[in-house]
A and B are shown apart, each in its own frame.
Chain A
Amino acid sequence: MIFFVALLPTLVNRVSFQYTNYFLGQQKKKVLNVIDRNGIDYYLQGDSAYASYTMLKEEYISLVPAIRDNVRDTIEISRRVIEKDTLNYRILIHELKSDNKNYILEIGKTTSTIGEYNKLLQRFTLYILIGLILLSLVVDLLYTRILLRPLAKIVSTKLVNRKFPFKEPLSPIKTSTTDFKFLDSSLISLMVKMHEAFDKEREFTSNASHELMTPISVLQSNIENMMMEEGVNDEMQEKLLGLMKTVGRLKKIVHSLLYISRIENDQFARADKVEVHELSEQVMEELLVRLESKSIHFTNNVTPGITLLQVNRDLLFQLLYNLINNAIRYNNENGSIYLSDSYHHGKEYVLTIKDTGIGIRQEELAAIFNRFKKSGNEDGEGFGLGLSIVKSITDFHGIQISVQSVYGEGTTFNITLPESSIQKNEGFR
Chain B
Amino acid sequence: MKVLIIEDERPFLREIKAFLEKACYLTDAAYTALQAKQMMVENEYDFILLDLGLPDSDGLDLLNDTKKMCPKASYIILTARGKLEDRIKGLDLGADDYLPKPFSLLELQSRMHAISRRKSGNNDPVVELGDFNIDLNKRTVRFEEEEIEMSRKEFDLLSYMLLHKNRPLTRMQLSEHIWGNFSDEDSDSNYIDVHIKNIRKKMGVFAPVDWLQTLRGIGYKIKI
B15 interfacial contact with A, CB 8 Å: yes
Q: Please, which residues of chain A bring their CB within 8 A of the CB of B218?
A: 237-238, 241
State in angstroms the CA–CA spacing of A248 and B188 once bound together: 12
Q: Does the CB pair B190–A293 fall under 8 Å?
A: yes
Q: Does the CB pair B191–A244 fall under 8 Å?
A: no
State in angstroms the CA–CA spacing of A237 and B218 once bound together: 8
In the complex where A214-B9, A325-B184 touch, is A225 in contact with B105 (Cβ < 8 A)?
Answer: yes
B122 interfacial contact with A, CB 8 Å: no
State in angstroms the CA–CA spacing of A142 and B193 once bound together: 76
Which of B103, B104, B186, B191 meets A289, CB within 8 Å? B191
A273 interfacial contact with B, CB 8 Å: no
Q: Is the interface of A mostly helix, strand, loop or mixed?
A: helix
State in angstroms the CA–CA spacing of A43 and B198 once bound together: 140
State in angstroms the CA–CA spacing of A251 and B181 once bound together: 10
A-facing residues in B144-173 (Cβ within 8 Å): 153, 167-168, 170, 172-173
Interface size of A by Cβ–Cβ distance < 8 Å? 43
Q: Does the CB pair B185–A216 fall under 8 Å?
A: no
Q: Please, which residues of chain B bring their CB within 8 A of the CB of A149?
A: none
Q: Does the CB pair A221–B12 fall under 8 Å?
A: yes
State in angstroms the CA–CA spacing of A250 and B62 once bound together: 31
Which of A228, A244, A329 meets B22, CB within 8 Å? A228
State in angstroms the CA–CA spacing of A211 and B186 once bound together: 24
Which of B18, B181, B194 meets A225, CB within 8 Å? B18
State in angstroms the CA–CA spacing of A255 and B167 once bound together: 27
Q: Please, which residues of chain B bring their CB within 8 A of the CB of A218?
A: 9, 11-12, 15
Chain A residues close to B by CB (< 8 Å): 210-211, 213-214, 216-222, 224-225, 227-228, 234, 237-238, 241, 244-245, 247-249, 251-252, 255, 258-259, 262, 267-268, 286, 289-290, 292-293, 318, 321, 325, 329, 381, 384
Apart from A214-B102, A217-B12, what 15 extra A-B contacts exist at CB < 8 Å?
A211-B80, A217-B9, A218-B15, A221-B12, A224-B19, A225-B19, A238-B218, A241-B217, A241-B218, A245-B172, A252-B183, A258-B82, A289-B191, A293-B191, A321-B182
Chain B residues close to A by CB (< 8 Å): 9, 11-12, 15-16, 18-19, 22, 80-84, 100-106, 153, 167-168, 170, 172-173, 176, 181-187, 190-191, 193-195, 217-219
